[in-house]
């Protein structure tokens, strides 16, 4: 039987940064190693004062060297630790965003943008915090713990034994507590996904929430997610709440025993005052890493859980693009007996139609008829359960995605506008878009008059998410973006919903005049937008009910007649 490869954890991932981490650890060792020498220096000063051999200059020199060394190495350690953690965080974010950019539309919808945002921000920050503080604390704790034990034994092994015996008790306490709360670290990161989702909805829909007076409803949604996050955090805190009293009890008991036993040693002369003072200093150094490890446990648990979630995205399987066709397309489209199920629900049932290159075809129907899913299928963003989608008679999967998308303009229902200039929004990332193509796209989308009113014209910067633009301006801007690549096919998903009828008709007329031979597929609910099209496909409840020219459908399709009459009454 083939052995399964071991899953990479956070420590395995950090091997790629071993040089930087080694330098940070080395500096941590130097800082803490020098810190361990301070009690020995105090011991020497106290005993020399008692013996009358105290040399002030020597003491100040040694103290200056030690403290200066600790200061310099600490500064370098902190700077290098921050650089290392930021580099690792940046690399993780790059890996995640690169994987997301190559993932399928279906994957993004399934995982949700809220979770992906948590991966990029909260999860990466948890890993960064562990790198910047956790590793330094961990190695500092080890050095201080081992160093203090050795030095305690060197001063007086009889006094050191009670302290050393506390280690097994503390380790068992750590193990028991951590095993109980480990699962909550993953849950605490997952609840951030839920909070991000609710907050995103509340912020982006703030105007609608206010208009509909639904603040209480949305507030309740947030309160549920917020309370859940609080409860999980409380469970983690409760788990650790018993740890520090245990540490305090064990250490205080040891102090009590050492104070009495050690005091008697000083009295009988077997232990000097300087050694006793140094011993107590090393006890505090011994206790510090134990407490540090207690605080570190939460950070470690969170970081490992966060990295596991990040790794799920990085290791997710990419969609296979096995297409080899990269030739220029004519624009023929065929949806051949297509059936689509989503979450075990039938969305489209045995849909079949042909669209000839250069024709204008409208796909219409009521809300939830399956029109947008037809749009996604034609673009190849989702795959059908049964049937085929053909472009120029060849399955869409046979085409190289980049080649196909460079010849297919797409205007989605949601107008995605970027926080950059109008020119860059239209040209987007396509460096080959000419000024002539941009101007033709602007003219076709009826944007000339609007751009002429802007202070910097095409170079005017748009605010985030295009909030300074009207709905119609955003939709026309996305149309111009789709046209700037001079496509052979243009797919329009309800793109004129926020455009008046006269502007809409001018745009359709411009498309025919400025892009002769282009295949136009317009998805809409309005008959008057497409009544002069070459073919109209009526879809209702996932089924193709009728298709033909407007006049033919008025004669032969009862469903079309009812929709037409209903819309005529609404317009009247």
What one-character DSSP code corresponds to residue 132?
I
Structural domains counted in the chain: 2
Domain edge (last residue) among 262, 286, 314: 314
19 within a domain of the structure (yes/no): no
44 to each of 33, 69, 264, 273, 277, how far by Cα in Å?
A: 18, 19, 21, 10, 10
pLDDT of 297 > 70? The answer is no
Do 407 and 272 share a structural domain?
no
Please, what is the average pLDDT of the chain?
A: 79
What one-character DSSP code corresponds to residue 464?
G
Query: Rounded CA gap, 542 and 564, in Å?
Result: 20
Q: What angle do CA 243, 244, 250 make, to 5 degrees?
A: 95
Average pLDDT (355-378) is 89
474 within a domain of the structure (yes/no): yes
Kindly give the pairing relationship between strand 519-524 and strand 535-540. Answer: unpaired
Do 566 and 495 share a structural domain?
yes
Do 200 and 112 share a structural domain?
yes
212 to each of 206, 224, 225, 309, 553, how far by Cα in Å?
A: 10, 21, 22, 37, 39
Which of 142-156, 183-197, 306-320, 402-416 shows the lowest mean pLDDT across its residues?
183-197
pLDDT at 216: 66
Most confident of 154-158, 204-208, 382-386: 382-386
Average pLDDT (299-320) is 81
pLDDT band per the 50, 70, 90 thresholds, residue 360: very high
Average pLDDT (483-498) is 83
| Structural domain containing residue 226 | 88-314
The per-residue pLDDT for range 431-457, each reduced to its tens digit, is: 677 888 888 988 998 888 888 888 888
Do 529 and 383 share a structural domain?
yes
pLDDT band per the 50, 70, 90 thresholds, residue 521: very high
Beta bridge partners of 519: 489
Kindly give the pairing relationship between strand 535-540 and strand 360-364. Answer: parallel
Do 377 and 280 share a structural domain?
no
328 within a domain of the structure (yes/no): no
* 45 Cβ contact partners less than 8 Å away, ≥ 6 residues apart: 54, 59, 274
**pLDDT more than 90, % of the chain:** 11
pLDDT at 217: 62
Read out DSSP for 499-549?
S-HHHHHHHHHHHHHHSTT-EEEEEES-GGGTTTSSEEEEEETTEEEEEE-
CATH number of residue 169's parent domain: 1.20.1560.10
Beta bridge partners of 537: 363, 547
497 within a domain of the structure (yes/no): yes
523 within a domain of the structure (yes/no): yes
* Cβ neighbour number for residue 147 with a 10 Å cutoff: 20
76 within a domain of the structure (yes/no): no
Q: Give the predicted TM-score (pTM) of the model.
A: 0.66
pLDDT band per the 50, 70, 90 thresholds, residue 355: very high
Do 228 and 190 share a structural domain?
yes
pLDDT band per the 50, 70, 90 thresholds, residue 2: very low
68 within a domain of the structure (yes/no): no
Do 339 and 294 share a structural domain?
no
Do 491 and 424 share a structural domain?
yes
Do 365 and 300 share a structural domain?
no
Do 426 and 518 share a structural domain?
yes
Do 114 and 252 share a structural domain?
yes
Domain edge (last residue) among 314, 348, 367: 314
What 3-state DSSP class applies to 380?
coil
CB 252 within 8 Å of CB 273: no
Do 340 and 293 share a structural domain?
no
302 to each of 242, 269, 309, how far by Cα in Å?
A: 19, 51, 11
Average pLDDT (297-312) is 79
Domain edge (last residue) among 286, 314, 342: 314
326 within a domain of the structure (yes/no): no
CATH number of residue 451's parent domain: 3.40.50.300
């Amino acid at each position: 039987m083939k052995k399964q490869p071991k899953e990479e954890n956070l420590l395995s991932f950090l091997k790629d940064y071993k040089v930087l981490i080694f330098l940070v650890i080395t500096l941590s060792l130097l800082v803490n190693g020098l810190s361990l020498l301070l009690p020995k220096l105090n011991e020497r000063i106290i005993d020399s004062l008692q013996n009358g051999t105290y040399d002030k200059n020597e003491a100040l020199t040694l103290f200056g060297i030690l403290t200066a060394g600790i200061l310099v190495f600490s500064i370098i350690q902190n700077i290098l630790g921050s650089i290392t953690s930021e580099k690792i965080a940046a690399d993780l974010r790059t890996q995640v965003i690169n994987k997301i950019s190559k993932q399928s539309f279906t994957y993004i919808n399934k995982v949700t943008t809220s979770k992906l945002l948590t991966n990029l921000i909260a999860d990466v920050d948890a890993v960064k915090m562990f790198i910047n503080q956790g590793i330094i604390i961990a190695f500092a704790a080890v050095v201080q713990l081992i160093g203090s034990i050795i030095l305690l034994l060197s001063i007086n092994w009889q006094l050191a034994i009670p302290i050393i015996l506390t280690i097994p008790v503390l380790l068992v306490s750590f193990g028991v507590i951590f095993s109980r709360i480990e699962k909550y670290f993953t849950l605490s990161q997952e609840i951030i996904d839920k909070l991000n989702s609710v907050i995103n909805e509340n912020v982006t829909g703030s105007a609608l929430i206010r208009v509909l007076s639904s603040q209480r409803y949305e507030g309740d949604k947030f309160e549920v997610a917020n309370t859940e996050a609080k409860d999980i955090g409380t469970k983690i805190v409760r788990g650790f709440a018993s740890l520090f009293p245990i540490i305090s009890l064990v250490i205080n008991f040891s102090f009590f025993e050492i104070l009495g036993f050690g005091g008697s040693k000083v009295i009988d002369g077997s232990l000097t005052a300087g050694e006793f003072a140094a011993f107590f200093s090393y006890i505090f150094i011994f206790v510090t890493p134990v407490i540090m490890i207690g605080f570190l446990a939460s950070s470690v648990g969170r970081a490992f859980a966060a990295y596991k979630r990040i790794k799920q995205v990085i290791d997710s399987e990419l969609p296979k693009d096995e297409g080899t066709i990269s030739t220029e397309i004519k624009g023929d489209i065929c949806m051949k007996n297509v059936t689509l199920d989503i979450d075990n629900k039938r969305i489209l049932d045995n849909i079949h139609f042909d669209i000839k290159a250069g024709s204008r075809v409208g796909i219409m129907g009521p809300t939830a008829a399956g029109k947008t899913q037809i749009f996604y299928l034609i673009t190849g963003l989702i795959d059908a359960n049964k049937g085929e989608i053909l472009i120029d008679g060849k399955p869409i999967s046979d085409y190289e995605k980049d080649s196909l998308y460079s010849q297919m303009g797409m205007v989605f229902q949601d107008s995605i506008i970027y926080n950059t200039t109008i020119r860059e929004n239209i040209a987007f990332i396509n460096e080959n878009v000419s000024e002539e193509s941009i101007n033709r796209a602007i003219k076709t989308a009826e944007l000339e008059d609007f751009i002429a009113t802007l202070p910097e014209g095409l170079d005017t910067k748009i605010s985030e998410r295009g909030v300074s633009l009207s709905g119609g301006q955003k939709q026309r801007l996305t149309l111009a973006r789709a046209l700037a690549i001079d496509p052979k096919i243009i797919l329009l998903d309800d793109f004129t919903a926020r455009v008046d009828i006269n502007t809409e008709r001018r745009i359709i007329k411009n498309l025919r005049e400025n892009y002769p031979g282009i295949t136009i597929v317009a998805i809409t609910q309005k008959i008057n937008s497409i009544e002069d099209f070459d073919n109209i496909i009526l879809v209702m409840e996932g089924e193709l009910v009728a298709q033909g020219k407007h006049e033919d459908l008025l004669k032969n399709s009862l469903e079309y007649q009812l929709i037409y009459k209903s819309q005529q009454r609404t317009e009247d």
